[in-house]
Amino acid sequence: MRPTGSFFDHVLEIQRPVVRASRSLTETVEANDVDRQALVDFYYSTNGEGWTDSSGWLIGDPCVNAWKGIWCHENGVRGTLSPTLFDLKNITTVILSGKANLKGALPSTLSTPSLTNIVIEGCSFTGRLPTTITSPLHSFYLAGNSFSSFIPPLPPTIIDVSLAYNQITGSIPPSFFSDTPNLKFFDVWHNKVGGSIRTSFSTATGLADLKLDLNDFSGATPSDISTWPIFSSPETATTVLFGDLWSCPVPESVREHSN
């Protein structure tokens, strides 16, 4: 699951009306007015005057005037993201998904003390993943970029990881799963990750969703693979078979478990 936490005590996501050629300026203004009035109603019905912080509220446009807690999409984000964004000491969540015109690189070290969620998917980021991560991350979603480094060590707080559809290379570190005891979701689909399926996967007792297909894994599958929790539990989901170079047949029970 992607993070549901917010930047503020209350966050409302609103999608600004998309202006199409067939729409008139009047129609667009009316749509904005409807959105604004709905927020004004929300303000008065929830004791807005008594909120701890109501910065910007009731002044002009909710997006242009940055009403506190209102999150607007389609703001024309493009360019190169400065790594100094992660120097903000109180930032908890970074979500910059679906921004094909946004590029940049992540800093080599992530140490922001309150950072728990990074969701940068479907952008144009390149370079290496951070080699040192001490931030208490829960979610690390970087799918659909062009990162090209190895899988880094992740903090023990991590729950969800998606590095799908990048150019990740190397192998999964031997201690990766024992070092991430809270990991539930791990997706490296469609990369260049190689090596063999290590017996360390057998220690991933809490893993519920594993996606390894379309990589460069090779070699024999461990003889006891069908007894590993990720393959033996009916509550888990795996895709590990497709597009890799196994040198021997995968057990039928594992094949049936994969989807």
User: How far is Cα 6 from Cα 27, in angstroms, rounded to an integer?
Assistant: 31
Place of tokens 């993070």: 3
To the question of pTM greater than 0.75 for the whole model, the response is no
Six-digit token string for 163: 């590095």
Spatial neighbors of 209 by CB under 8 A, at least 6 apart, are 184, 185, 186, 187, 236, 237, 238
The total of other beta-carbon atoms located within 10 Å of residue 163's CB is 25
Choose from 10-19, 52-61, 136-145 the range with maximum mean pLDDT: 136-145
Per-position b or e across 52-80, b if 16+ CB within 10 A of its CB: eeeebbeeeebbeeebbbbbbeeeeeeee
User: How far is Cα 212 from Cα 165, in angstroms, rounded to an integer?
Assistant: 11
What single-letter DSSP state applies at residue 258? B
14 confidence band (pLDDT: 50, 70, 90) = very low
Q: Minimal CA–CA distance to 215: which of 237, 242, 234? A: 242
User: How far is Cα 177 from Cα 204, in angstroms, rounded to an integer?
Assistant: 6
User: How far is Cα 134 from Cα 155, in angstroms, rounded to an integer?
Assistant: 6
- Residue 224 confidence (pLDDT) above 60: yes
Q: Minimal CA–CA distance to 88: which of 67, 118, 132, 131? A: 118
Digit-coded pLDDT (tens) for 80-108: 888 788 887 878 888 888 888 888 899 99
Tell me the one-letter amino acid at 225.
I
Six-digit token string for 34: 């409807």
Report the pLDDT value the prediction gives residue 21, as an integer from 0 to 100.
26
Residue 95: φ, ψ to 5°: -125, 115
User: How far is Cα 115 from Cα 48, in angstroms, rounded to an integer?
Assistant: 28
Sign of CA dihedral 94, 3, 124, 209: positive
**Has domain 77-257 been given CATH number 3.80.10.10?**
yes
The mean per-residue pLDDT over the stretch 228-232 comes to 72
Q: Minimal CA–CA distance to 223: which of 194, 192, 248? A: 248
Report the pLDDT value the prediction gives residue 31, as an integer from 0 to 100.
35
Six-digit token string for 106: 């992540």
134 confidence band (pLDDT: 50, 70, 90) = very high
- Residue 28 confidence (pLDDT) above 50: no
The domain segmentation of the chain, as residue ranges, is 9-75, 77-257
239 confidence band (pLDDT: 50, 70, 90) = low
